[in-house]
Amino acid sequence: MASKLVAPHGGKGLVCALLTGADRDAELEKAKGLKQVEISDRAKGDLIMLGIGGFSPLTGFMTKADWKGVCENFTMADGTFWPVPITLDVDKSEGINAGDEIALVKAGEIFATMKVEEAYEMSEDDKKWECEKVFMGEGEESVDGNFWKLAPEDHPGVIMVMAQKDMNIAGPVKVLSEGEYPAEYPGVYLTPAQTRAMFDERGWANVAALQLRNPMHRSHEFLAKIAVEVCDGVLIHSLIGNLKPGDIPADVRVKAIDILIDKYFVKENVINAGYPLDMRYAGPREGLLHATFRQNYGVNHMLIGRDHAGVGDFYGLFEAQEIFDRIPHTGDDAKDLLCQPMKIDWTFYCKECDGMASLRTCPHDKASRVILSGTKLRKALSEGAEIVDHFGRDEVLDHLKEYYAGLTEKVEVKMQGAASGDDM
């Protein structure tokens, strides 16, 4: 029976650059004789997504024309929608030129080979322009061109782009590794082909995705259950790539979701999965990226709540919802974004309502509301502070407290060892 799921982005089916079996073995052997180029953690995640079809229809890293079009107009050179540049930076001194074939390496492991089709310089002004286009919010302030006055010095997305090397290289890749993810997250790390097969097996046609990079609290649970009511099922899709220091590790977050699903969801209506990207901290544009690659996973509705992919107070609380109304549409399903936002208002626990609610449903004043956020939860847990009632499920909070208690014990042991002269 034909799948009823939304088509992969780009109109070409799942475009997967991952080699397997004898093809992989032969390419890996060839790669050993190629120039070895060290890549960043971000590029490693991008390669894996290119390998498994998560970035369909991309076949590799973007050309200058694609980079410029994506930054300026949300479209690649051929008119296909794409919200955030997928580029690979290298040091110009490495002498990589168009026509070269290279091996892309991370920490001694060969992740891919690449046929370089274009090498283009990235000046400081180019990087600043990219930051202005990709990281700037879409509010009134952006019209005045005040990005560098408004952007916080510690904006992690800006820091990453400005730290990139002075040249980008473009071209198709042959991916040779999925890294540590299959072994470390069995049954959670799923490819687009696997999630689509699972959705088809369950008879799902309309699927929503909940993006997570923080522990799942009551607002997240509420969002997922809203989606369960109106869709066939929900993919709780956690980032299992790199986060910033201080964030809770993926395995801890994944287990917290399992606890919630086991006790508070109808299991047949929800899937717990992870994807291998690093955060780009691109605010509203990252919300668009989340919807774009979720379409490849078979998802046609992206849950977008308050401050989706936000950075501190830099973005407006609902800019990630509003940006969906401003992206280009050609009328060509192959080029347009088909995964649509499911816009949810600010959610919270209301003591007067005696349950979860939103600004659209709750008539009571702020004093009755327990405002929930991952940042507040992490801060309270790390400081051993009391967590307000109804912030999270007790079973999940106990699990998270156990993780933080383990961190405290490790610090204490390290301090004792240092005091006694042990090298620990």
User: 8 lies in a domain?
Assistant: no
Mean model confidence pLDDT for the chain: 90
Q: Is 42 a catalytic residue?
A: no
In angstroms, rounded to a whole number, what is the distance separating the alpha carbons of residues 26 and 9?
30
Residue 99 CB coordination number (10 Å): 11
State CA 318 to chain mean position distance: 18
Q: Which of 214, 269, 296, 300 is catalytic?
A: 214
Q: In what order do the strands lie in the sheet with 301-304?
A: 270-275, 233-239, 207-212, 301-304, 340-343
Long-range contact list for 394-397, CB < 8 A, 24+ apart?
A: 395/259, 395/260, 395/263, 396/215, 396/216, 396/217, 396/256, 396/259, 396/260
Res 413 pLDDT > 60: no
User: 44 lies in a domain?
Assistant: yes
What is the mean predicted confidence (pLDDT) over 126-140?
Answer: 81
Q: Do 192 and 159 lie in a common domain?
A: no
pLDDT number for residue 137: 62
User: 413 lies in a domain?
Assistant: no
**Residues 370 and 359: beta-carbon distance below 8 Å:** no
Q: Do 56 and 153 lie in a common domain?
A: yes
Q: Do 341 and 396 lie in a common domain?
A: yes
pLDDT number for residue 408: 58
Position 151 confidence tier, pLDDT thresholds 50, 70, 90:
low
pLDDT digits (tens, 9 = 90+) for 14-27: 999 999 999 999 99
Q: Is 214 a catalytic residue?
A: yes
Choose the final residue of a domain: 132, 155, 181. Answer: 181
CATH code (residue 200): 3.40.50.620
Q: Do 231 and 302 lie in a common domain?
A: yes
How many domains does one find in the chain?
Answer: 2
Choose the final residue of a domain: 159, 181, 203. Answer: 181
In angstroms, rounded to a whole number, what is the distance separating the alpha carbons of residues 215 and 277?
17
Q: Do 310 and 373 lie in a common domain?
A: yes
Domain with 47, as residue range(s), is 21-181
Tokens representing residue 283 in the block = 């605010």
Q: Do 175 and 231 lie in a common domain?
A: no
User: 99 lies in a domain?
Assistant: yes
Q: Do 172 and 213 lie in a common domain?
A: no
Lowest mean pLDDT among 30-44, 149-163, 269-283, 407-421: 407-421
Q: Which of 24, 73, 206, 213 is catalytic?
A: 213
Res 188 pLDDT > 70: yes
Choose the final residue of a domain: 138, 162, 181. Answer: 181
User: 56 lies in a domain?
Assistant: yes
Give how far Cα 331 sits from Cα of 72, 293, 337, 363, 396, Å.
20, 19, 10, 40, 44
Position 138 confidence tier, pLDDT thresholds 50, 70, 90:
low
In angstroms, rounded to a whole number, what is the distance separating the alpha carbons of residues 407 and 176?
35
Question: pTM to 2 decimals?
Answer: 0.92
In angstroms, rounded to a whole number, what is the distance separating the alpha carbons of residues 232 and 207?
6
